[in-house]
């Protein structure tokens, strides 16, 4: 009887266990989670229901105090996540976007730019500062960017305002250490290593219990710079970044080989102008920041007189901070981006390759901005945030949107620059004030040719002029076959000025000029470069030129990957002031080029043989 009762109890217990286990399994089967197909995260219908999204904001405490109040700065953060992360305990990876632009920007009026009409080697006219920015932020959402794209694919979206902007504490430093450490603090909080608080000054803590601890970052322009800045801190949990047209060095943004040079479209901008443009933070703290950062550190370090590289600029060059970096890197840039120029991505990509960091680069033929195709971004984040083995590491390293490609259908290459490209050196033959020649065989005793500086004419107008004293131009024979240029062209120039300083501008162009209505100005510009002959020995130390004395200087032009079609000629144009980019002194300075001491090396797929075949 006792055995029968025991057997009955065991059977009953087993039945309850089976029923309970089946119930749990049924609940698990009903739980919603990410879905993957062909190595990409798919849209999950349940995640698309915006009514079930949970939105909230908080402040994350950093390790610095840059607004002088004696307290550690806190960054304003917002979170948007699927309801399942709350009601079902679902944990998901995070896509994080940080920006100085989310809460309002300053005036874009030219009244608050430097007056570039000035003589070289002289202090710039006094900068007029704009009215203070009126913050427009409304809690709890800082931004809605990227939410509709990524949240339905199984990600939590996080935004933050960078230091000294919006409701974040601190001072904007435009590339200073705090702009790297601020996103690091947010990632530390997402991984449980830093404190988040419900209010800006309170002590009630918030935890990111819904995060898997895997974080990816992306953004465009300044918003693309911040992911790189965060990655240079080697913060644990930042697994992958996709910077789009990032500014990777503020010296390369506002200077060029010793020359004071504006970013395209923003003539007269400099780093303190950008500071004013983004400084939307606490009104009561702005006076301190203006005094210490803008009128202190920046004014002392930026040097608009010589344009020399120095420690101030070195501290705002992320290439110098890459040694700790480990986050997988997918970069995107436009070859015709004359704002944040294409060198910004290439210099970082090149170093990442040397370091063995998983890397890919996507280049298109348009201007500023332009993300990689969605499938590339999806595969990248799926691999490194969700951990799905989709073979992205075996994909082509470089993706180039060819001249007739659709933006989302780039051509794959083994790498960039094209490994089949090799340097071809071209020499100059006299021809001023019309056209000289550009040939691969060196021509002896070509002598010297002189141009007269005059900013009244644009670079594009000078390239199209049949005859002018304001530029020198040297053209190749007409191409009978297409030529593929891939990489960085380097020019060695031997020149003299009749004054202690002169602007030096160099364009590589494709002629004849395309004048059709649908043509873009940049269709005929292969690449550009600018330099200051006063820096012929060193970027850190310039010296005034002795009038009439020749100096030799070698410098790189902007990276490019372009197919020059048959029927065109490759033209090298040398001139002085570039009215769209440089300071603009009074016309009249004479710039003399020693043709025998000047050459340009162009990376051509197939090298000298390909070029020789193209001009036969």
CA–CA dist 585, 260 (Å, integer): 12
**Average pLDDT of the residues of the chain:** 94
Please say if the pLDDT value at position 9 is more than 90. Answer: no
3-state helix, strand, coil in the chain (%, to 5): 25, 25, 45
For 269, the token pair is 């901008």
Distances (CA, A) of 219 to 99, 158, 159, 243, 366: 8, 12, 11, 6, 17
pLDDT in tens, 315-364: 999 999 999 999 999 999 999 999 999 999 999 999 999 999 999 999 99
For residues 48 and 152, the answer to whether their CB atoms sit within 8 Å is: yes
Q: How confident is the model at residue 23 (pLDDT cuts 50, 70, 90)?
A: very low
Please say if the pLDDT value at position 511 is more than 70. Answer: yes
Q: What is the DSSP letter of 304?
A: T
For residues 595 and 436, the answer to whether their CB atoms sit within 8 Å is: yes
Predicted pLDDT at 28: 52
For residues 341 and 257, the answer to whether their CB atoms sit within 8 Å is: no
Place of tokens 């020198």: 472
The reply to whether 386 belongs to the active site is no
CA–CA dist 610, 481 (Å, integer): 9
For residues 213 and 190, the answer to whether their CB atoms sit within 8 Å is: yes
pLDDT in tens, 482-504: 999 999 999 999 999 999 999 99
Q: How confident is the model at residue 506 (pLDDT cuts 50, 70, 90)?
A: very high
pLDDT in tens, 556-600: 999 999 999 999 999 999 999 999 999 999 999 999 999 999 999
Q: How confident is the model at residue 14 (pLDDT cuts 50, 70, 90)?
A: very low
Place of tokens 């007739």: 404
DSSP 515-567: -STT--GGGGEEEEEEEEGGGSS-SS---PPPTT--EEEEEE---EEEEEPTT
Predicted pLDDT at 137: 62
Mean pLDDT of 114-127: 97
Predicted pLDDT at 41: 98
Strand 259-260 with 328-334, pairing: unpaired
Q: What percent of the chain has pLDDT over 90?
A: 90
For residues 244 and 371, the answer to whether their CB atoms sit within 8 Å is: yes
Q: How confident is the model at residue 130 (pLDDT cuts 50, 70, 90)?
A: very high
Please say if the pLDDT value at position 16 is more than 80. Answer: no
Judged by DSSP in three states, 321 sits in helix
Predicted pLDDT at 517: 61
Model pTM score: 0.94
Domains of the chain: 40-413 (3.40.50.1820), 421-614 (2.60.120.260)
The reply to whether 368 belongs to the active site is yes
Predicted pLDDT at 180: 98
For residues 222 and 339, the answer to whether their CB atoms sit within 8 Å is: no
The one catalytic residue among 252, 279, 368, 470: 368
Q: Return the H-helix or E-strand segment holding 343.
A: helix 343-355
Radius of gyration for the alpha carbons in the chain, expressed in angstroms and rounded:
28
CA–CA dist 274, 222 (Å, integer): 11
Please say if the pLDDT value at position 535 is more than 50. Answer: yes
DSSP 570-582: EEEEEES--TTTB
Q: What percent of the chain has pLDDT over 70?
A: 94
Where does 249-371 show beta strands of DSSP type E?
255-256, 259-260, 328-334, 359-364
CA–CA dist 551, 502 (Å, integer): 12
CA–CA dist 125, 115 (Å, integer): 6
Mean pLDDT of 139-154: 95
Mean pLDDT of 221-245: 98
Q: In terms of C-beta density within 10 A (0-12 exposed, 13-18 middle, 19 or more buried), how is residue 267 classed?
A: buried
The one catalytic residue among 98, 221, 280, 599: 221
Q: How confident is the model at residue 27 (pLDDT cuts 50, 70, 90)?
A: very low
Predicted pLDDT at 10: 42
The reply to whether 295 belongs to the active site is no
Residues in contact with 383: Cβ distance below 8 Å, sequence separation at least 6, in sequence order: 39, 240, 328, 389, 390, 392, 393
pLDDT in tens, 270-315: 999 999 999 999 999 999 999 999 999 999 999 999 999 999 999 9
For residues 479 and 485, the answer to whether their CB atoms sit within 8 Å is: no
φ, ψ for residue 511, nearest 5 deg: -120, 155
Least confident of 31-35, 323-327, 515-519, 555-559: 515-519
The one catalytic residue among 73, 195, 276, 337: 337
CA–CA dist 13, 17 (Å, integer): 6
pLDDT in tens, 61-108: 999 999 999 999 999 999 999 999 999 999 999 999 999 999 989 988
Residues in contact with 539: Cβ distance below 8 Å, sequence separation at least 6, in sequence order: 257, 258, 308, 309
CA–CA dist 91, 215 (Å, integer): 12
- H helix intervals, 395-485: 459-464
Q: In terms of C-beta density within 10 A (0-12 exposed, 13-18 middle, 19 or more buried), how is residue 588 classed?
A: exposed
CA–CA dist 448, 128 (Å, integer): 43
Judged by DSSP in three states, 243 sits in strand
Mean pLDDT of 13-25: 42
For residues 29 and 22, the answer to whether their CB atoms sit within 8 Å is: no
Judged by DSSP in three states, 196 sits in strand
């Amino acid at each position: 009887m006792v055995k029968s009762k025991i057997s009955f109890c065991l059977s009953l217990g087993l039945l309850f266990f089976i029923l309970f286990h089946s119930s749990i399994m049924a609940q698990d089967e009903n739980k919603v989670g990410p879905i993957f197909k062909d190595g990409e995260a798919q849209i999950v219908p349940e995640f698309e229901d915006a009514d079930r999204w949970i939105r909230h904001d908080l402040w994350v405490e950093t390790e610095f105090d840059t607004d002088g109040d004696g307290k550690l700065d806190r960054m304003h953060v917002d979170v948007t996540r699927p309801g399942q992360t709350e009601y079902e305990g679902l944990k998901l990876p995070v896509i994080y976007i940080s920006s100085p632009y989310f809460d309002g920007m300053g005036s874009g009026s030219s009244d608050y730019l430097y007056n570039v009409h000035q003589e070289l080697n002289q202090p710039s006219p006094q900068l007029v500062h704009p009215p203070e920015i009126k913050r427009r932020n409304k809690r709890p959402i800082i931004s809605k960017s990227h939410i509709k794209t990524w949240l339905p694919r199984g990600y939590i979206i996080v935004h933050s305002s960078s230091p000294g902007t919006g409701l974040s504490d601190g001072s904007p430093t435009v590339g200073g250490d705090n702009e790297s450490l601020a996103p690091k603090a947010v990632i530390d909080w997402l991984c449980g290593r830093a404190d988040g608080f419900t209010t800006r000054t309170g002590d009630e803590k918030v935890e990111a219990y819904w995060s898997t601890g895997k974080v990816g970052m992306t953004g465009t322009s300044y918003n693309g710079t911040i992911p790189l800045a965060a990655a240079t801190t080697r913060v644990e949990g930042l697994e992958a970044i996709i910077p789009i047209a990032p500014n990777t060095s503020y010296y390369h943004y506002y200077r060029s080989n010793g020359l004071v040079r504006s970013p395209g479209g923003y003539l007269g901008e400099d780093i303190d102008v950008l500071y004013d443009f983004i400084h939307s933070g606490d009104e009561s703290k702005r006076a301190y920041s203006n005094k210490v950062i803008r009128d202190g550190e920046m004014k002392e370090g930026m040097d608009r007189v010589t344009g020399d590289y120095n420690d101030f600029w070195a501290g705002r060059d992320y290439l110098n901070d890459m040694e700790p970096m480990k986050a997988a890197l997918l970069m995107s840039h436009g070859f015709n981006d004359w704002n944040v120029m294409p060198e910004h991505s290439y210099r970082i990509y090149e170093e990442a390759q040397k370091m063995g960091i998983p890397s890919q680069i996507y280049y298109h033929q348009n201007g500023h901005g332009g993300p990689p195709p969605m499938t590339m971004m999806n595969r990248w984040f799926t691999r490194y945030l969700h951990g799905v083995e989709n073979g992205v590491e075996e994909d082509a390293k470089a993706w180039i949107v060819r001249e007739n490609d659709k933006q989302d259908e780039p051509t794959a290459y083994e790498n960039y620059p094209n490994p089949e490209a090799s340097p071809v050196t071209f020499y100059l033959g006299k021809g001023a004030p019309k056209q000289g020649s550009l040939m691969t065989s060196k021509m002896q005793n070509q002598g010297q040719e002189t141009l007269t500086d005059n900013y009244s004419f644009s670079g594009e107008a000078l390239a199209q002029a049949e005859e002018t004293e304001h530029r020198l131009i040297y053209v190749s024979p007409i191409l009978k076959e297409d030529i593929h240029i891939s990489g960085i062209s380097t020019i060695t120039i031997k020149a003299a000025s009749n004054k202690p300083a002169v602007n030096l501008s160099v364009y590589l162009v494709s002629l004849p000029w395309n004048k059709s209505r649908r043509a873009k100005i940049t269709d005929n510009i292969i690449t550009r470069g600018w330099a200051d002959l006063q820096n012929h020995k060193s970027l850190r130390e310039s010296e005034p030129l002795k009038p009439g004395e020749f100096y030799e200087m070698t410098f790189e032009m902007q990276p490019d990957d372009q197919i020059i079609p048959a029927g065109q000629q490759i033209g090298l144009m040398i001139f002085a002031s570039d009215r769209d980019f440089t300071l603009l002194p009074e016309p009249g300075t004479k710039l003399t080029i020693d043709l025998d001491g000047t050459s340009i090396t162009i990376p051509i797929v197939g090298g000298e043989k390909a070029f020789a075949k193209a001009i036969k």
